[in-house]
Structure 1
Amino acid sequence: MLVRKHEGVLVQGITGKQGTFWSERMVESGTRIVAGASPGKGGRNVNGIPVYDAVSDAVAQHEVAASVLFVPPMGARAAALDAIHAGVRKLVILTEHIPYQDVMRVLAEAAEHGTQVLGPNTAGLVLPGETAVGIMPGFAANIFQPGDIGVISRSGSLGTLLALNLVSAGYGQSAFIGIGGDPILGTTTTDALRTLQADPRTRAVVLVGEIGGTMEEEAAEYITTMTKPVVAFIAGRSAPPGRRMGHAGAIVTGSKGSGESKARALAEAGATVLDLPSQVSEALIGHGITAIDLRTTTPIT
């Protein structure tokens, strides 16, 4: 799922501290926020953005392509369903600790109504120079610059580190997709890879994974069919056996889900697996993807 500059964005929970702060940052990044929604707060105005009691009220007045949720865990299901039933077809759920049964209900309703879901427990997405939807610093020029490298990450902080390393080496990003760290997600690693494979602006993909779950191993099968090179970094490869670490999804079960299992599957699929995030530029050069000096737009030699 990508949100383009021309698409209207709604912020659910915009009157809260985080919703207010990050709505300013998203606008600073180029995002076209057209409205906010907070039950009982309709009629207010946040940073020049009109606020409505319900998503349906906002949709009646504005063209809304996507909604981002700054909503507490126990209110996330109602907020997400409000957006889905109002006809919003792109949903970014930042909230973590949502009960699993609520997540499953939201994803079932989204599938029935044709709504794409990013998250829950996602940091959001960024299209440098266009939009940022969520809590990623799309406004920070030292982290995000327009370019042709797509980044997929379960972790917002690790994804930020890889994005920073790319810009430091002279690369820019076509898109950052934070899929989220929970075990049950609306967008999987494979889904995000399909999006970037189809994106004409993306020339190569950097995949940031973690121990736990099997998404990266399942994605390896799809990588064998891709025409774009994939560079991968798996965090937690040195984690002690049996130790639960990181996100709720970082639970190793059986022979799958370990860092070494993921790294092996990705390497066998043709991806270049990094030992350190700082090796990303070297790996891209190995695939013939030359860095561009972002100040002069000329190749770095």
Structure 2
Amino acid sequence: MTLFIEHGAPVIVQGMTGHQGMTHTSRMLNAGTHVVGGVNPRKAGTSVSLHLDASDTETSLPVYATCGEAREKTGAQASVIFVPPRFAKDAMLEAIDAGIKLIVVITEGIPVADTAYCVELALQRGIRIIGPNCPGLLVPSAVGEGNDNLGIIPNGIVGSGPVGLVSKSGTLTYQLMGELADLGFTACIGVGGDPIVGTTLLEALQQFEQDDNTKAVMMIGEIGGSAEQEAARWAKEHMSKPVVAYIAGFTAPEGKQMGHAGAIISGGKGTAQDKKEALEAAGIAVGKTPAQAATLLRQALDGDGEA
């Protein structure tokens, strides 16, 4: 099976003509992602020149008026969204209406009501949203022919291997990728740190459980909400592969937002200690530091699934 996206699937970028969109579209192209164009109704019919590091040349990508036009002309299966928060709902709805099957939303600061509406509509249409407020998705190629890198995850940190990684934190995603770079990954997915996200920790675990190439999973959580507890309950009943976790925020004060919109302890709920206890009760080892979590995952792989 393929994890989240078929290798080499055509990708469009909503917001490609902006500074961030251009910067990260170049990065995605350099990683090997099959980016085929961008969407901006005000610049439809133009093109954007982007630099390719590998060949020290430039490539030109067309700009389309709508996602529907982009899909019709290119066969796009995925979209990466870099538009400002006030335009993000319209961008998501446009991609959903066009039938784009995977939508990766990098934008942060999107109103929760906008995200909730789009996530529910996508669910009804059988469309997967990753994010918002996330680093995106990286699926290293097992055949050495370029990676599928949708978003802002740095390329070149890791290659293909047996570990699946799912994280609510962008920075910690990169750190654990570095800690386990010698092992390699089937996929690295940042689900985002907002109160409502399109793909949850639990749903990511379900994908990794179904993937034959994934032998163990690293899950990175943080304070706020109950996503880790929900994932732990499902994993205890259904996960046949070892899962190791790291939870950020043990020293976070109650009532203070810590980085992400969803990273806040309210009414004594959503603490790192609560999450640690729920995970350990489900048989999921929890590292006190990212380095210790990486060590625990190595032990889980060496021990044939026993963390």
Same structural fold, with TM-score higher than 0.5 when normalized by the shorter chain: yes
The separation in 1 between residues aligned to 2:168 and 2:287, in whole angstroms, is 16
Residue 54 of structure 1 is matched in structure 2 by 66
Residue 162 of structure 1 is matched in structure 2 by 176
SS at match of 2:16: coil
Residue 298 of structure 2 is matched in structure 1 by 285
Given that residues 101 and 126 in structure 2 are in contact (C-alpha distance below 8 angstroms), is that contact kept between their aligned partners in structure 1? yes
Residue 229 of structure 2 is matched in structure 1 by 217
Return the match for 2:266 from 253, 260, 274. Answer: 253
The separation in 2 between residues aligned to 1:273 and 1:206, in whole angstroms, is 10
- Identity over aligned pairs, percent: 42
The separation in 2 between residues aligned to 1:288 and 1:92, in whole angstroms, is 30
Counterpart residue identity of residue 43, structure 2: K
Structure 2 unaligned blocks of 5 or more: 51-59, 142-146
> Aligned ranges for residues 172-191 of structure 1 at < 5 Å?
172-191=184-203
Q: CA deviation at 1:24?
A: 1.0
Residue 56 of structure 2 is matched in structure 1 by none
Any idea what the Cα deviations from partners look like across 1:56-85, whole Å, max 9, x if unmatched? 111121111111101000101111111111
Q: CA deviation at 1:280?
A: 3.2
Return the match for 1:150 from 150, 154, 164. Answer: 164
Moved more, 231-240 or 67-76: 231-240
Counterpart residue identity of residue 126, structure 2: G
The separation in 1 between residues aligned to 2:19 and 2:254, in whole angstroms, is 40
Q: CA deviation at 1:242?
A: 4.0
SS at match of 1:91: strand
Any idea what the Cα deviations from partners look like across 1:199-251, whole Å, max 9, x if unmatched? 12211000010011110011110111201100100001122344432211012
Residue 299 of structure 1 is matched in structure 2 by none
1:103 aligns with 2:120: no
Residue 54 of structure 2 is matched in structure 1 by none
SS at match of 2:203: helix
1:269 aligns with 2:282: yes
The separation in 2 between residues aligned to 1:282 and 1:97, in whole angstroms, is 35
Indicate the RMSD between aligned Cα atoms, in angstroms. 1.4
Given that residues 165 and 280 in structure 1 are in contact (C-alpha distance below 8 angstroms), is that contact kept between their aligned partners in structure 2? no
Structure 1 unaligned blocks of 5 or more: 291-301
Return the match for 1:133 from 145, 150, 155. Answer: 150
The separation in 2 between residues aligned to 1:105 and 1:242, in whole angstroms, is 26
Residue 28 of structure 2 is matched in structure 1 by 26
Counterpart residue identity of residue 165, structure 2: V
Any idea what the Cα deviations from partners look like across 1:244-267, whole Å, max 9, x if unmatched? 322110122334310000001001
Counterpart residue identity of residue 149, structure 2: A
Q: Specify whether residues 288 and 95 from structure 1 end up closer, same or farther in structure 2 by C-alpha distance, changes over 3 A only.
A: closer
SS at match of 2:35: strand
Given that residues 166 and 280 in structure 1 are in contact (C-alpha distance below 8 angstroms), is that contact kept between their aligned partners in structure 2? no
The separation in 1 between residues aligned to 2:117 and 2:254, in whole angstroms, is 33
The separation in 2 between residues aligned to 1:85 and 1:288, in whole angstroms, is 42
Residue 44 of structure 1 is matched in structure 2 by 46
Residue 253 of structure 2 is matched in structure 1 by 240
Given that residues 5 and 30 in structure 1 are in contact (C-alpha distance below 8 angstroms), is that contact kept between their aligned partners in structure 2? no
Given that residues 4 and 127 in structure 1 are in contact (C-alpha distance below 8 angstroms), is that contact kept between their aligned partners in structure 2? no
Moved more, 203-212 or 54-63: 54-63
SS at match of 2:180: helix
Q: CA deviation at 1:40?
A: 1.0
Residue 4 of structure 2 is matched in structure 1 by 2
Residue 124 of structure 1 is matched in structure 2 by 136
Given that residues 8 and 148 in structure 2 are in contact (C-alpha distance below 8 angstroms), is that contact kept between their aligned partners in structure 1? no
Runs of 4+ in 1 over 6 A off after TM superposition: none
Moved more, 274-283 or 154-163: 274-283
The separation in 1 between residues aligned to 2:254 and 2:118, in whole angstroms, is 34
Given that residues 132 and 194 in structure 2 are in contact (C-alpha distance below 8 angstroms), is that contact kept between their aligned partners in structure 1? yes
